[in-house]
Amino acid sequence: MTAFDDLVAANREYASTFSGGEFDGVARAGAAIVTCMDSRIDPLRMLGLHYGDAKIFRNPGGRVSPDALEALVLGVHLLGVTRVLVIPHTRCAMTQSTEAELRERIAASAGVDASWQPFHVIADQLAALEEDVRKVRSHPLIPESVAVGGFLYDVDTGLVERRV
C-alpha cells in the first residue's frame, strides 16, 4: 500500500478508454493560461476548453514569474499560443498574509525554521496583475500579435472578469 494507490488505480481506468494519443503538444485553442495552484480553479472547464486546448502554468498566486515567461515564450513560438490569459483569483491565500506571517505558520507546521523560504505574497492584487500583464506584453520574445489579458476568477461565482 502506498499513498498513491487510489490515484494509480484511477489512472488505469483513465487509460483504458484513452484516445488522446494522436494529439501533438500544440495548444489547439491557441490559449496559454497563467493561474494559481488553488484547487478551486478548474482552468480548462471554466473557459469552456478541453483536453489539448491550452498550455497551463500554475504557481501560488498565479504570477508571471521568470518560469512562467519561459513557458509563454515556448508556447508562443513552438506550441501554437496566440493568446495569453493571466488569471489570479479572489480569496487567494497569497493575498491574505504577509511573508512574515506565512513563514511563521510554515515554521509552526514544519517544526523548523522557515525564515529562509521566500513566499511571494501579493499586497495589491490588481497592481500585481497589471505588472504581470505588462511583463508579458513587453517581453522581447513575445510579439505584439499575441493577445494578452489580465482576468480575475471569482471562486464564489465561477465568473472570470477581465481587469487588464
**Which CB atom, from 38 or from 76, has the smaller least distance to Zn ion?**
38
Considering CB under 5 A, how many residues would be counted as binding Zn ion? Answer: 3
Provide the minimum distance between the beta carbon of 65 and Zn ion in the complex, in angstroms, as a whole number. Answer: 14
Q: How much is the CA Rg of the chain, to the nearest whole Å?
A: 18
Residues in region 84-113 near Zn ion by CB under 5 A: 92
Instruction: Give least dist CB 79 to Zn ion, A.
Output: 25
Helices 66-78 and 125-137 cross at an angle (nearest 10°) of 40
Can you give 5-66 as a three-state secondary structure string? HHHHHHHHHHHHCCCHHHCCCCCCCCEEEEEECCCCCCCCHHHCCCCCCEEEEEECCCCCCH
Query: Using CB under 5 A, which residues numbered 28 to 57 contact Zn ion?
Result: 36, 38
Q: Which is nearer to Zn ion, 54 or 92 (CB)?
A: 92
> In this structure, are residues 130 and 93 in contact, taking their beta carbons and an 8 Å threshold?
no
By beta-carbon proximity to Zn ion, the closer residue of 10 and 126 is: 126
User: Minimum distance from CB of 93 to Zn ion (Å)?
Assistant: 6
CB of 88 to Zn ion, least distance (A): 7
| Chain residues that interact with Zn ion, rule: CB under 5 A | 36, 38, 92
